[in-house]
Amino acid sequence: MIKPLPRPQRAADAAVIPYTRQHIDADDVAAVTEVLSSDWLTTGPQIAKFENAVAAYCGAGYAVALSNATAALHAALHALGVGPGDRVWTTPNSFVASANCASYCGATVDFVDIDPHTYNLSAARLEEKLAATDRAKLPKALVVVHFGGFPCEMERIASISRRHGIAIVEDAAHALGATYHGAPVGSGAFSDATIFCFHATKSIATGEGGMVVTNRDDVARSVRLFRSHGITADAKEMAERHPGEPWRYEQIELGFNYRMTDLQAALGSSQLSKLDAFVERRRSLAERYDAAFADLALQLPYKDTAAASAWHLYPIQLLGERRGARRTELYETLLAHGIKSQVHYIPIHTQPYYRAQGFKAGDFPAAEHYYEGTLSLPLFYDLGEVDQDRIIAIVRASIPSRLA
């Protein structure tokens, strides 16, 4: 059920418009204040409450909260047995964490080029790459990223991957609140695990924070152990019996301190109650952009009846000659008018760390072409229509008509 929220107010005329920002209300403040007055600040009852709420929202069996989404990606791959000597494939069009998580496990990273319409990992390119790869060099896991909040072609990707025994992790950092074939992203219908992000810029905010959602008991158990130093106090999991020592715990594997705090979890639960309203508002603003830019020489975000985006981003792509230079000009013009935009993303394989591993410009041409002309416009719950009209007017003055 969508919780009613106050209508966003326009900013003052001189105010800077960020490309995104969180929405925090009195209910959120009260939820955190209550924890500050409780016996728990770190790992307490709010963690399980938040986990259960996210699992229920997604229709999944388990949810495990972590300190951030990068930790969640690392823990998910570890739980799926990814380690030294293994290979993990992902998309070049994402934040570097989607690839780094495999390196943390000691695995080798490679990429699959994107679909030029959705900007997500291309199922067609995946099938081609798998067919051209020796069986001994197939990936153990695939990290698919729902870029901008629009779900990947998961049914086809899962069908292709399962033929080769490849595990799938959905990097849904942008996609909490999105749906695919009518089911929430995170339901686990086409993957082994899904991760969500609760950074201040995401669908709901806990400051920092992440979640692994899964239907696999073994994955959930592994992530819980991994997030807390590999330590258990469950007698059934301990290697030895310790009669007369009820305080006993054992480290049974090497883990990390990836725990979320009760403060973050309380904020997350409060924010989750407003998620549908947040997504609906973003969708409405995206539709206003669509209508305003329909006649311009731009490629607008892709839509499909099979999927509903969470609208984390509104990326436009400039078309025609000098698109890269004109993108820079538009970025600078918006900034001069107090409007902040952003570029999502510099292709991961072009970063110096990955170039040192042998990747180079030209390896994934669709991702590189997209990057050259893309710009993400402001999109967030509190963006008022008057301020959005300021953004629209500048874009319209900077971009020619398709008929020009």
pLDDT in tens, 78-98: 999 999 999 999 999 999 999
13 falls within a domain: no
pLDDT of residue 4: 52
pLDDT band at 2; cut points 50, 70, 90: very low
Q: How far is CA 187 from CA 146, 170, 196, 281, 398, in A?
A: 14, 11, 12, 23, 42
pLDDT of residue 167: 98
Residues 43 and 183 reside in one and the same domain: yes
Residues 308 and 162 reside in one and the same domain: no
Tens digit of each residue's pLDDT (9 = 90 or more) over 356-403: 999 999 999 999 999 999 999 999 999 999 999 999 999 999 999 986
Residues 191 and 59 reside in one and the same domain: yes
pLDDT of residue 34: 97
CATH of the domain at 363: 3.90.1150.10
- Asked if residues 91 and 121 have their Cβ atoms less than 8 Å apart, the reply is yes
Residues 70 and 194 reside in one and the same domain: yes
pLDDT of residue 238: 87
Over range 152-156, report the average pLDDT: 98
Residues 281 and 384 reside in one and the same domain: yes
Residues 394 and 262 reside in one and the same domain: no
How far apart are the C-alpha atoms of 112 and 121, rounded to whole Å? Answer: 6
Residues 285 and 340 reside in one and the same domain: yes
Q: Which of 3, 202, 340, 360 is catalytic?
A: 202
pLDDT band at 404; cut points 50, 70, 90: low
Residues 253 and 292 reside in one and the same domain: no
9 falls within a domain: no
Residues 268 and 279 reside in one and the same domain: no
41 falls within a domain: yes
| Residue range(s) defining the domain that contains residue 199 | 26-272
Domain boundary, last residue among 272, 292, 323:
272
Question: DSSP label at 142?
Answer: E
Per-chain mean pLDDT for the chain:
95
Its sign, for the CA torsion 206, 289, 117, 376, is negative
Give the strands of the sheet with 108-111, arranged side by side. Answer: 62-66, 210-214, 193-197, 167-171, 141-145, 87-90, 108-111
Q: Which two tokens stand for residue 138?
A: 């197939």
Residues 6+ apart with CB under 8 A from 46: 35, 40, 262, 263, 265, 266, 269
Domain boundary, last residue among 272, 297, 312:
272
Tens digit of each residue's pLDDT (9 = 90 or more) over 96-122: 999 999 999 999 999 999 999 999 999
Residue with tokens 């033929």: 163
Residues 265 and 322 reside in one and the same domain: no
What's the pTM?
A: 0.95
- Percent over 90 (pLDDT), the chain: 91
pLDDT band at 5; cut points 50, 70, 90: low
How far apart are the C-alpha atoms of 364 and 347, rounded to whole Å? Answer: 9
336 falls within a domain: yes
Domain boundary, last residue among 272, 307, 322:
272
Question: DSSP label at 50?
Answer: H
Residues 67 and 190 reside in one and the same domain: yes
21 falls within a domain: no
> Rounded to the nearest 10 degrees, how much is the dihedral formed by the CA atoms of 112, 113, 116, 119?
60
How many domains is the chain built from?
2
2 falls within a domain: no
How far apart are the C-alpha atoms of 262 and 252, rounded to whole Å? Answer: 25
Tens digit of each residue's pLDDT (9 = 90 or more) over 202-256: 999 999 999 999 999 999 999 999 999 999 998 888 888 888 888 899 999 999 9
How does strand 231-232 pair with strand 87-90? unpaired
Residues 140 and 197 reside in one and the same domain: yes
How far apart are the C-alpha atoms of 393 and 327, rounded to whole Å? Answer: 16
**Exposed, middle or buried, 287 (CB in 10 Å: 0-12/13-18/19+)?**
exposed
225 falls within a domain: yes
Over range 330-349, report the average pLDDT: 98
- Asked if residues 41 and 260 have their Cβ atoms less than 8 Å apart, the reply is no
Give me the residues paired with residue 317 across strands. Answer: 299, 374
pLDDT band at 8; cut points 50, 70, 90: low
CATH of the domain at 44: 3.40.640.10
356 falls within a domain: yes
202 as an active site residue: the answer is: yes
